[in-house]
Amino acid sequence: MTGWTQHLPVLPVLLPAATAIVLLGLGDQRDGAGRLCAARRIALASAALALLIALQLAAVADTDALTVYRLGDWPAPYGIVLVVDRLAALMLVLTALVALPVLLYASDGWDARGRHFHALFQFQLMGLNGAFVTGDLFNLFVFFEVLLIASYVLMLHGGGAERLRVGLHYVVLNLCASALFLIGVALVYGLTGTLNLADLALRVPRVLGPDAVLLKAAGLLLLVVFGFKAALAPLSLWLPATYAAASAPVAAMFAIMTKVGVYAILRVHGVVFGDFAAAGPAGPGGSAALLVQPLLLPLALAGCVLAGLGALAAASLPRLVAWLTVASVGTMLAAIGLFGAAAWSAALYYLANSTLIVAALFLWAELLADQRGEAAGRLEPARPVAQPALLGTLLLLAAVSAAGLPPLPGFIGKLMLLQASAGHASAALLWTVVLAVGFMTLLALARAGVLLFWNVHGDAAAGAAAAPPRRLAATVSLLAASVAMSVAAAPLLRYSDAAARQLTDREAYARAVLPGLGGPAADSALPYTGLIPATPATPAKVPR
C-alpha cells in the first residue's frame, strides 16, 4: 500500500476513538422529542466508514500481503506494531458488520435511555479493533481493558435492579481476570524478554529447563484469562445471566466480544505455543508446544454439552440465546483444539456465521417480547404476536443455521469441522457432541417457537404493535448477512482456508514483522541463555 492507504491499518483504532471524542464533546444534546439526532448520524456514519475500511483491508490481506504498521516508526520488537493478516481483517469486517445494524437498532430509542451511549459504543469498537490488529501481548491487554471498561457502562445502560446486580458480578469477575492477564504477561516477558507475538513465536521454543516450566504456567494462566473472556467451560457460567440482563443492542454487540477471547486463544495458544512455531532444541515447537492441547478440546466439548442443556432449560428468550452463544464458542474452540489448518478454517467460517446469528437472535428476541405484553421474553403462554408470519420466519432461519441444518452456513461450518476431525483420536467424541448439541439446539428453539407462536391465548389486537421498521431492518440485515454466507460460500471458504494456512506460516509472519530477519536459521542459531538477545536488526526508516 502506498500514499494514504498505508495508514489504513491504524484507522480501525483511530476512527472510533476520534468519533467517541467528538461525541463526548457534543454531550447529550437532544431535540424536542428527546432524540440524539446529531450523535446518531455521526455514529452511523463512522460505523459505515469503518466497514468500508475493513473491507479494503480484507481485500489487501487476500492478496497474501501481511500489512505491518509501526507506530512512531520504531522497529519491532522494540516498538508497537499493528499487523493485519487475513485473520485480523476477517475480525475487523465481522465487527463492522455487527456494529452497523446494532447501532441502527439502538438509534430507534435505546440510545436515549441512558447517557453517552454512542461514545461508549465507539470506545468499545476501538478496543475490539485494537485487540484484533495489535501485534504484541501487552497491547492486547490494553485493548482488552478499553473494550471492557466501555462494556461495563453499556451493560448498565437503561438501568434496572437486575441489570445492576448482574453488572456488578460482571465487573468484579472481569477485574480479577484482568489482574491474572497482567501477571501472565509479566511472566512471559520475564522469561522471554519480549511481548511481540512474532518474536514470541521464535523465542518460546528455545526456553528450556526450569524457565520452561514457568513459561508453561504463564501460558496456562493466559488460557484461564482468555477462556473466561470467551466463555470456555467451566468459566462460562457468568455469561447467560449477564447477556440476558443486558439491553438487546448491547447483548448483540457482546456477541462479538466473546470472540476476542477465541481470537486470543488462537493467536497465543494456537500459534505462539503451537507446533507451528520456529524450531527449538525440544522439537518443532519446543517443550511448550501444544501446551493447551490436552485441555482445550475436552473443555470445549464439555462447554457445548453444558450449553445445550442450558438452552433446553432456559425460561426466557434472552437466556436461551445466551446459552446458544456458549454453545457456539465451544464449537469454535473444539475446532481450534484439533490444531490443524483444516479445522482452523472451519472454526473461522463458523465463527463469522455464529456471531451474526447470535447478534440477530438477541435483537429478534426483543422485537418479539415487545409484542407479547406482560409475558415479554419469558417462555410461557401469552397473547398472539402482531407479526407471527414474519417473526416466525426469522426464527426459522436462525434456528436452521444455529442447529447446523443445510443449506445455511451453520451446516457448512459444522460439516467442515467434522471432516477436519477425521483420523483424530477424539473424532468419535467430537462427532457425538457436535451432532447431539445441534439436536439439542434445534429442540430448544422448536420448544420456544411452539410456546411463542402456537401456545397462545387472547387477541393480538389488544395493544400489540408491529415491530418498528428501523429495528426490524437491523435484525433482518444480520440474518441476510448469514444467508449471504451460504450464497458466497466458495470464496469465503477459500479465504478461511488461506487464513488458516497463513497462521501456520510463522516464518513469513516473523519476516514481515521483525525487520532484518534473514530467515529461520538466522534466529534459531541463537542459543537460549535465560533472556534471549533481541533479534539483531537496524532497519531503514519506513516512511509513514
Per DSSP, the three-state class of 35 is coil
Residue 228: the pLDDT is: 94
pLDDT in tens, 299-351: 999 999 999 999 999 999 999 999 999 999 999 999 999 999 999 999 999 99
- Is residue 399 over pLDDT 90? yes
Residue 5: the pLDDT is: 66
pLDDT in tens, 169-195: 999 999 999 999 999 999 999 999 999
CB 135 within 8 A of CB 515: no
Residue 290: the pLDDT is: 80
Residue 474: the pLDDT is: 95
110's grid cell:
435505546
Alpha helical stretches, state H, 370-505: 388-403, 409-420, 427-449, 469-487, 489-504
pLDDT, mean of residues 353-360 = 96
- Is residue 394 over pLDDT 80? yes
Q: Which amino acid is present at 84?
A: V
Domains in the chain: boundaries: 11-458+465-516
pLDDT, mean of residues 133-149 = 94
Q: DSSP per residue over 86-150, as a string?
A: HHHHHHHHHHHHHHHHHHHHHTTTGGGGSSSHHHHHHHHHHHHHHHHHB-BHHHHHHHHHHHHHH
pLDDT in tens, 467-491: 889 999 999 999 999 999 999 999 9
- Is residue 414 over pLDDT 70? yes
Tell me the whole-structure pTM to 2 decimals.
0.91
Tell me what percent of the residues of the chain surpass a pLDDT of 70. 89
DSSP annotation of 540 reads P
